[in-house]
Structures are given as C-alpha cells and as structure tokens.
Amino acid sequence: MPLVYADTSALFAYFYPLDEFSRQVDEAVKAQSVDFVYWPLVRFELRHNLRRLKTDKYGVIAWRALRAGEQTAWRLRWHGELTADRILDSAEELSAEQATQVHCGSSDVLHVAAARRVHLLSGLEEFWTCDGTQAELARKIGLPTRLFSA
C-alpha cells in the first residue's frame, strides 16, 4: 500500500463530509488505496478540529469514522519513530534552511519536517495537503507533493 503523509488539512477533509476538499481527497484515496502516516501531531490536530464540530450531525459522523478507523489496522499507520522531540529538531533545521524563502507558519513546517523524516526512513509515496504555501515548502525540499485546491 502506498504510504502518504496527509497534512491535517487533507485528513480533516477526508473525514468531514462538508469540507470544501472532501470529495477530492476521497477520490484520491479511492484511486490509490493509500495508507496514512499517523502520529501525535496529526492525531491532535485532527481530533481537535473534529471535536469542535461534534455539535453538528456531520461532525458526529466524521468523529465516529475517525474513532472507528483508529481502532482498526487499516489506513491510519501509527509511526512510533515520529516523536515530538525529534520532529521539533527536524523542524528547527528545516526552518533554518527555508524560513526566509517560503512563508510557512510553524505548524506547516512541523508537518513537512515529519514527512521528510518518514520519506528518508521508509519512503513516502506523496505528501498531501490543501495548503498552497505548505505544498510549496514540501516541493522545495523534494517531497512528491499533491495539492488539493477548491
């Protein structure tokens, strides 16, 4: 199964049916049958944003699907080697290399640094994001990148 690092913007869109990028991400998943890198930052951002939507019925549907997905061995592949201290160091390096050239926020850099680490360790099929600036950074450091645009 191809391994993809989906930034939280893309993973959120995959689970939340009303999201502007939801259809595009779902079609990409169906076409390639990918596994997603899952680690504490993605889990936290994804859950945080879905929790905030648990007041609407679509948010509840998304939350249920995520929780069911987390409890199976499908798709969401837990990466134990992606620990906060390592990725913060990698992000610091990446920031030193690119901060003046690409106008990314700090969380954008964290995700790209994590994706770069997975790419080096075990090979990554693609980096998926809905965030243009983040895609620019990912491409700049050589990650095969897919940008979903509304």
Burial class (CB in 10 A: 0-12, 13-18, 19+), 69: middle
24-28: Cβ within 8 A, 24+ apart: 24/148, 25/128, 25/130, 25/148, 28/128, 28/146, 28/148
Of 41, 44, 51, nearest to 16 (Cα)? Answer: 51
Q: Of these, 4, 5, 6, 15, which contacts other proteins (CB under 8 A)?
A: 15
| 3-class secondary-structure state, position 140 | helix
* 81-89, 90-98, 128-136, 138-146 -> range binding other proteins (CB under 8 A): 128-136
CB of 145 to other proteins, least distance (A): 13
CB of 144 to other proteins, least distance (A): 18
Query: Residues in contact with other proteins, total (CB under 8 A)?
Result: 54
Binding site for other proteins (CB under 8 A): 1, 7-9, 12-13, 15-23, 26, 40, 43-45, 47, 49, 52-53, 57-58, 61-62, 64-65, 67-75, 77-78, 80, 103-105, 107-108, 130-133, 135-136, 150
